[in-house]
Chains A and B, each alone.
Chain A
Amino acid sequence: MVTELFIFAESASQSGLPLGITSGGAWLLRNAWLIPLLPALSFLGILFFGKRMPRKGAELGIAAVGIAFVLAVLTGLAWLDHRDNYHGEETHLAVAAVEHHGEISHDEHHDDSHDEHAASGHSESGHHATHSSLAVSNTVTWFQTNGVDISVGVLVDGLSVMMLFVVTLVSLLVHIYSTDYVGGDRRYTHYFAFLSLFSASMLTLVISENTLQLLVAWELVGVCSFALIGHWWEEKPNSDAALKAFLTNRVGDMGLLVGVTILFFSVGSVLPDTFGSFSIAATNAVANNGLLSHTALLVAATCLMAAVMSKSGQFFLHTWLPDAMAGPTPVSALIHAATMVVAGVFMIARLYGVFFEGLSIGGSSINLMALVGGITTLVGASLAFVQRDIKKVLAYSTISQLGYMVLALGVGAWTAAVFHLFTHAFFKACLFLGSGSVAHAVHSFDMKSDMGGMRKAMPHTYRTFIIGSIALAGLPPLAGFWSKDEILAGTGGWGLFGGTGGNGSYTLMLVMGMITAALTAAYMTRCVYLTFFGEFRGHGDVHESGPRIVAPLWILAGLAIVAGLFNLPKGFQLVPDSFQERFGHYVEPVAGYFPTISHATPSWSLAIISTLVVIGGASAAWWYYFVKVEAASKASGKSLTELPNGPTTTYPLAKIIHNILDKKYYLDHLYTGIIAGGTKGPLARMAYRFNQQVIDGTVDRVGETAVKSGQFVYDKIDQLVVDGAVNTSGRLSSEAGGELRKIQSGKVQSYAAILFAAATVLAGILIVIV
């Protein structure tokens, strides 16, 4: 039963809000639900029959995800064709509130050019194709309540197609990698079952047609994350980490519940014949056209931001993410780097109409989203310095990069954010799997005590890790450079050094982004040095991992090199026009459910400056580790990880002056002492301390307080007052009964005496009265 819900297909000439969706399109696009269905079936298959299979269920999971990947690729190709060639009927939204509001009016933060766009049904803003990109929507009724159909279905557009590709690809590689990495594990089968369930949930999330479906999938990925973080639940720290992840996410989910509710009724209030709507397309379209009150949108967007902050590890709900590294490494790669944690970013991108209007992103002021993203990116990057655990370095790096994406969305650079999501998935998965490969060899994650000099023993891991690091740091021409540069351009700060456009001048965000770029380069240099350079500090014989681990590494490394080329910037003179902004063209919607945003044009000067910043950050760290520490190691004959009298040592005043005079120490001090050391030492430590003690402590304290107040309420109020009142009344009647029972002697004659006495008294009364 395919229904159109309360969205009425009308011919384009009639009045109504253009939604930018169609129920037509290629079969593959309309039936994208098959992609999540496959892993869902494989979950059930593995759960019930996995242990009886020859490879304990892993083959079923790989087959399902593999087919899903092929389907995703085909769907992607179908979308490319659809985007350029489909000119079918567009679905319009009948809006009742038009009468209420007089006519479709626009909020004041639409400037004139936007008004024109909206009025002309989203005509093209420059470089995009000349027709709108109609998303394909296909829904069925899920359930009915209060006479309203709540549907479930797919909304396939560039964004979801891109996510389908990324999720199935990374998931497939992680499945293959895992057969080696967790081979022989005590719960091998369950591990694969949950990988399948996770893939199914995440794929459902990215094709969600409505916010309710999104909410369902959102929580399901959360529970898979819980199960996989706590995979080795025998040890308490692991189950603690799993609990922390789930609970922190729940706090954010509260915001999601409330936000979805507000949107549901707000949208319902302007649609005819219904009191609510979960439809994402309708929600965005209504928000874009200023039919909803700004207050409602602001509150909804803020609530949804809470969900984003928890799921995507944004400051200050990010503390669960590093702890989540307690799970197996492939899981960290899949869930806590490449896919699940970007769910929050995806949601912002999906409901961008709501966020764009609600947070006034087009208004050029500093908004909540940009600020949260900016702070997160700095916090994450600075914390990555002080970690000993290689996975935690990458975890903080993930936080930082997610902050980048949120920042980008916060300044209106939608395509840049989504593109960064795309590239980040590859290089971060590559880095995580690489760290897993190293850890697999040395049986530890501690860089300082158990690693060092791995480049000789593990050439493949080493090379792919280097590629991933460069891509993450953002040096051209690797993937990270292109996406990062677009984000920086999108901030529009300082007039873009000659660039144009953007949604305003977010200079602060540009500065934050630049600092993070430098920090990222520096901490990755440190991480690479500690892991792969110097001498081996661990024990035992180390050798390269097997092909099932190395092959995914190379595939991801390859993508980390080339992924950036999918979205070469507009006006990039070295390539023909037809190669520019391909990603943006196919992924960014030009449709009624997407706000009209203006696009920044990157400039050479910005690209050069940002590259210099990256090189600067990397050089500082290089100087410290590859030069100073290396030399100190040689001198002491041990493989050191820090200078013995390094940056944290305070020098007497005279010595400082001497050092300033001594050019060499002057530079040393500048690079290692002030820049690297200052960041690495007090600042990062302070930040980490703040992180662990204040923020984390607050979380703990809130938990403790809740238990304590629970204890108090239970002991003092429940047991004493409420229950006490009940007990007292019971005791009173029981005492009264105790007195009365003395009368009951059991002797016939005493009863008879009472009887006669009573009869006499009654007779007396009767006489008196009558």
Chain B
Amino acid sequence: MYLNQFLLLSAALFAIGVYGVLARRNGVLVLMSIELILNAVNINLVSFAAFQDSISGEVFALFVIAVAAAEVGVGLAMILLLYRNRRNIDLTEIDLMKG
């Protein structure tokens, strides 16, 4: 068991997540991709913690999971509202924040 193996897994997950966030137009899929990114971070945290005999990484990971849950909640609610108002959740068409 090497640390590198976990880190590579994490990096792959992160890359997939980034790709999803940047390239997908469906809001739900973007949210899921964000989850992937967060979980990539979790893997990193847990694996470092395990290899360094400290539990602080696990504690952090728990926090991240909790926050991620909240974030998904809010995100889904937003997407739901968007859908209700627009019948569409294509993120490329949403530019309310344009300056």
Instruction: Say if the two chains contact directly (CB < 8 Å).
Output: yes
How far in angstroms is the closest Cβ of chain B from A481? 94
Summed over the interface, the residue pairs from A and B with CB atoms below 8 Å come to a total of 30
A746 touches B22 (CB 8 A): no
A752-B97 in contact (CB<8A) = no
Instruction: Given A756-B18, A756-B22, verify A749-B96 contact (CB < 8 Å).
Output: no
Query: Chain A, 495-522, contact with B by CB distance < 8 Å: what is the 0/1 string?
Result: 0000000000000000000000000000
- Report the separation of the CA atoms of residues A741 and B95 in the bound assembly, to the nearest whole angstrom: 13
Q: How far is the CA of A756 from the CA of B19 in the complex (A)?
A: 11
Q: Which of A744, A753, A756 contacts B97 (CB 8 A)?
A: A744
A753 to B21, CA, bound (A): 9
Residues of chain B with a CB closer than 8 A to A756's CB: 18, 22
Q: How does the 8 Å CB contact mask read for A721-751 relative to B, with 1 for contact and 0 for none?
A: 0000000000000000000010011111100
Instruction: Give a binary string over B67-99; 1 marks a CB under 8 Å from any A CB, 0 the rest.
Output: 000000000000000000000000110111111
**How far is B96's CA from A748's CA once the two chains are assembled, in angstroms?**
10
B97 touches A746 (CB 8 A): yes
Check A747 against B18 for contact (C-beta < 8 Å).
no
Question: Contact: A746 with B99, CB < 8 Å?
Answer: yes
* Contact B95 A749, beta carbon cutoff 8 Å: no
Tell me, rounded to whole Å, the shortest Cβ–Cβ distance linking A765 to chain B.
19
A752 touches B22 (CB 8 A): yes
Chain A CB within 8 A of B40 CB: no
Q: Which residues of B contact A741 (CB under 8 A)?
A: 99
Determine if B36 is an interface residue (Cβ-Cβ < 8 Å): no
The reply to whether A752 and B95 contact each other, CB–CB distance below 8 Å, is no
In the assembled complex, the CB of B21 is this many whole angstroms from the nearest CB of chain A, namely 5
Residues B97 and A749 in contact, CB atoms below 8 Å apart: no
Q: Closest Cβ of chain B: how far from A742's Cβ, in Å?
A: 8
- List chain A residues, Cβ under 8 A from B45: none
Chain A residue with the shortest CB-CB distance to B21:
A752
Q: In the bound complex, what is the Cα–Cα distance between A752 and B21 (angstroms)? A: 8
Cα A746 to Cα B91 with chains together (Å): 10
Binary contact readout B42-74 vs A (1 if CB under 8 angstroms, 0 otherwise): 000000000000000000000000000000000
Most chain B beta-carbon contacts within 10 A, residue among A744, A749, A756: A749
Q: Contact between A746 and B92 (Cβ–Cβ < 8 Å)?
A: no
Whether A744 contacts B98 by the Cβ 8 Å rule is: yes
A747: B residues at CB distance < 8 A: 91-92, 94-95, 98
Contacts of B97 in A (CB 8 A): 744, 746
> In the assembled complex, how far is the CB of residue A682 from the closest CB belonging to chain B, in whole angstroms?
81
Q: Which residue of B lies closest to A738 (CB)?
A: B99
B22 close to A745 (CB less than 8 A):
no
Within 8 A of B (CB), among A577-600: none
Alpha-carbon distance A741/B99, docked complex (angstroms): 6
A756 to B18, CA, bound (A): 8
User: Does B30 make an interface contact (CB < 8 A)?
Assistant: yes
CB-defined contacts of B92 to chain A, threshold 8 Å:
747, 749
Contact of B30 among A745, A746, A748 (CB under 8 A): A748
Closest-by-CB residue of A relative to B92 is A747
B98-A748 in contact (CB<8A): no
In the bound complex, CA of A756 to CA of B99 (Å):
21
CB distance from B70 to the nearest CB of A (A): 19
Whole-angstrom distance between the alpha carbons of A747 and B23 in the complex?
12
**In chain B between 1 and 34, which residues have their CB closer than 8 angstroms to a CB of chain A?**
18, 21-22, 30
Residues B98 and A746 in contact, CB atoms below 8 Å apart: yes
Q: Kindly name the residue among B30, B91, B99 whose own CB sees the greatest number of chain A CB atoms within 10 A.
A: B99
Contact in complex: A753, B95 (CB < 8 Å): no
**Closest Cβ neighbor of B98 among chain A residues:** A746
Given known contacts A748-B30, A748-B91, is B99 in contact with A753 (CB within 8 Å)? no
Apart from A749-B22, A752-B22: 8 A-B pairs, beta carbons within 8 A: A746-B94, A746-B96, A746-B97, A746-B99, A747-B94, A748-B94, A749-B21, A749-B91
Residue ranges of B at the interface with A (Cβ–Cβ < 8 Å): 18, 21-22, 30, 91-92, 94-99
The 9 A-B residue pairs with the shortest CB-CB distance in the complex, in nearest-first order = A746-B98, A746-B95, A744-B99, A746-B97, A741-B99, A747-B95, A752-B21, A753-B22, A748-B91
11 A–B pairs (Cβ distance < 8 Å), ordered by A: A741-B99, A744-B98, A746-B94, A746-B95, A746-B97, A746-B99, A747-B91, A748-B94, A749-B21, A749-B22, A756-B22
